Structure 1
Amino acid sequence: MATQKVTSMEVARLAGVSQSAVSRVFTPGASASKKTVEKVRKAAKELGYRPNVLARAVVSGKSRIIGLVVAYLNNQFYPEALEKLTNALQERGYHVLIFMASHQAGNIDNVVEEILDFQVDGIIAASVALSSDLSDRCRTAGVPMVLFNRAQDDTAMSSVTSDNIAGGRKAAEFLLAGGHRKIGYIAGWEGASTQRDREAGFVASLNEAGVELHAREVGNFLSEEARQATLRMFETDPPDAVFVANDHMAISVMDTLRFEMDLKVPQDVSVIGYDDVTVASWPAYNLTTIRQPANRMVAETVDILLSKIEDADARPRRVEIDGPLIVRGSARIPEGWKT
């Protein structure tokens, strides 16, 4: 048999305070004396009362909820980054709702439409891009949005990424300094700005040194597709070095080279990844990679979003944060290279 929900009036009666005092206790940022807070929380616990956040949003126009949309969690970078984002927002008094989408634009648009129904104060889109129509829809609804680890041409859309072009250049410079000239690249999903920029920086740096890309395959940021890409790339005239668009794929590439093709890393093939996820530092992989500065990316994302929530006239910002090359043992270390 269903029980009737406890109301704030009942809590107020038991605590011996006004209903508005109960509301202040459960409203982030509102003021209430320590004694009032103790009495209200004690009464609420006794009665099993929980405030209705969505109902409060209708009254105040602020839900203190951030919608976080992400395309996939297989790549270890995203669970770690989302944990940091969630913690940072909670420290600022916001709740986080996570919604899963896929790369397909229609699916993403449907998910964001659903997020707007929850009366969120803002949206962070991690690893996804949005249609221009949907960007306009969010602006019309007065809901600010920040793209995390993605960027797009819409100058009105704020975004935070690592400096992917610079990261691609660092990977190329390291391989060239190590004496490699037959260099391959395994791309991520080609609709992603991060993929395009990493490849652009990488290829530009090779070309400036008079070196053409020797081989190219697409792994779509997926482990199995990266495996298949590796098998194709090394079937005939294989490269002696490979830059892989992220660590999630690079781990698969290394496993394929070592256990299916009987090649040694880095003696036969140098491998460089991108992200510096936790697994990259494990002795089994010891992966040389470009580090995504996740802490700084999260801090910038939260700052941009909350600034826009507090001031609707705040201008959009596009931030690119430089990340270092982390030299480990999966790629030949150039003579005299300082680590």
Structure 2
Amino acid sequence: MKKRRVTSTDVARKAGVSQSAVSRTFSPWPTQSGVSAEIREKVLRAAKELGYQPNAIARSLITQRSRIVGVLFSYLDNPFYARALELLCHGLQARGYHALVFMMSDTLQDIDSTVSDILQYQVDGLLTASVELSSKLCIECTERGIPVVMFNRTQDDPGLSAVTTDNIGGGRLAAKALLDAGCERLAVLAGWEGASTSRDREFGFRAELHARGAELFERANGNFNLEDTAQATRAFFKDRDPAERPDALFVINDYMAIRAMDVIRNELGLRIPEDVSVVGFDDISTAAQPTYGLTTVRQPINRMVEASLRLLFEQIEDSAAQPEHVMLGAQLVERHSVRRKSSP
């Protein structure tokens, strides 16, 4: 025979308190529940003896809050996004919320379909990372009163909040580092064409070259994919005379930069930085390992996550809160993958 589920009424009866006292004891905000320490202790003791667990679904029906946030990623191969997901989940849990994580491809059609599925779970908000949203979907979220915060992406939509690094400024830092080192034939290994991060970083890189009277020597796409990155790197350097190949490479993120460095050294037998200097973007942990010593542009990931959660909860708690774009400064981290300029 199936055992009957223990209810908050059972706990209240055993503890000798009201049912509302039980509900307030198990509130996600115990410090604001108005329950004395003595009553709280009675309720918790009774709940433990009876094997009671609060019903989150029932609570959501009363509060009209699911305490669930949808989190969208297109891929986690890049350690930057794996770390971001970890920090976002910890941050949500610390506030009494839980993440409903969905993975999807980069195509807008698949993204729209997945988000429509997420909205059926009555999420209180949406955090997106490494994906772009269609205007139609943004309007749907706005009409439903569901705040959306984009992490490490931007879109031309005033109804969306976004948190990014200054990607244009970071691209300029990368170009400056290579030009200051005396590099002359600078190439870009870009990511997926639809990503605002790749677009803005390349724009900043080109802008700095133009400001210094230099031109981009060559360009290819790695599409945030390791095999595409390897093929593009081979096309840059394989079987080409030194004067006809790049002597510097700006890779749009570290994930691709590490793969490019492996191809340059291990497959093609070239030296870094003597034959080619390399700069990445993100500052993932692998970049700092002695094997790579990758000079890169650092994204302040902890501050980006904190800002994303702040914007999200401001809008969850206050429907009148306005969307905001937070842009944090980029920082060049110099290691050993860029050659030192020769003394005159």
| Residue 180 of structure 2 is aligned to residue 173 of structure 1 | no
Unmatched segments (≥5 aa) in structure 2? none
Alignment of 1:1-339 (within 5 A): 3-29=3-29, 30-235=33-238, 236=240, 237-334=244-341
1:285-316 Cα shifts (integer Å, max 9, x gaps): 11100000111111211111111111111111
CA distance in 2, matches of 1:243, 1:137: 38
Distance of aligned partners of 1:113 and 1:52 in 2 relative to their CA distance in 1, 3 Å threshold? farther
Instruction: Report the alpha carbon displacement of residue 115 of structure 1 after superposing the two structures with TM.
Output: 1.9
C-alpha distance in structure 1 between counterparts of 2:139 and 2:19, whole Å: 40
238-247 vs 14-23, greater mean Cα deviation:
14-23
Amino acid of the residue matched to residue 82 of structure 2? P
1:13 deviates by 2.4
Please report the TM-score for the alignment, with normalisation by the length of structure 1.
0.95
Compute the TM-score of the two structures, normalised by the length of structure 2.
0.93
TM-superposed deviation, 1:335: 6.2
Give, as a single letter, the amino acid of the residue that structure 2 aligns with 1:323: A
Q: Secondary structure at the match of 1:159?
A: strand
- The verdict on how the C-alpha distance between 1:335 and 1:320 changes in structure 2, with shifts beyond 3 A counting, is farther
Residue 77 of structure 1, CA deviation: 0.5
Secondary structure of the 1:306 match is helix
Deviation per CA, 1:122-145: give whole Å up to 9, x if none.
111111111111111111111111
Cα distance between partner residues in 2 of 1:80 and 1:42: 38
> What letter corresponds to residue 305 of structure 2 in structure 1?
V
Identity of aligned residues (%): 51
Q: Residues 142 and 159 of structure 2 are in contact (CA less than 8 Å); yes or no, is this contact kept in structure 1? A: no
Q: CA deviation at 1:174?
A: 0.6
**Which secondary structure state, in structure 1, belongs to the residue aligned with residue 122 of structure 2?**
coil
Supply the AA of the counterpart residue of 1:80.
R
Post-superposition shift, 1:159?
0.4
- Is contact 1:54–1:119 with CA below 8 Å preserved after alignment? no
User: Equivalents in 1 of 2:34, 2:253: separation in Å?
Assistant: 47
Letter of the aligned partner of 2:169 in structure 1?
A
1:210-247, Cα deviation, whole Å (9 max, x unpaired): 22111111111122211111011213332011000000
Q: Distance in 1 between matches of 2:271 and 2:247?
A: 11
1:331 Cα deviation (Å)? 1.1
> After superposition, what is the alpha-carbon deviation per residue over 1:60-95, rounded to whole angstroms, capped at 9, x for unaligned?
111222211111111000121122222222222322
Partners of 2:302 and 2:34 lie apart in 1 by 31
Deviation at 1:39, TM superposition (A): 2.3
* Paired letter, 1:267: E
User: How many residues matched?
Assistant: 336
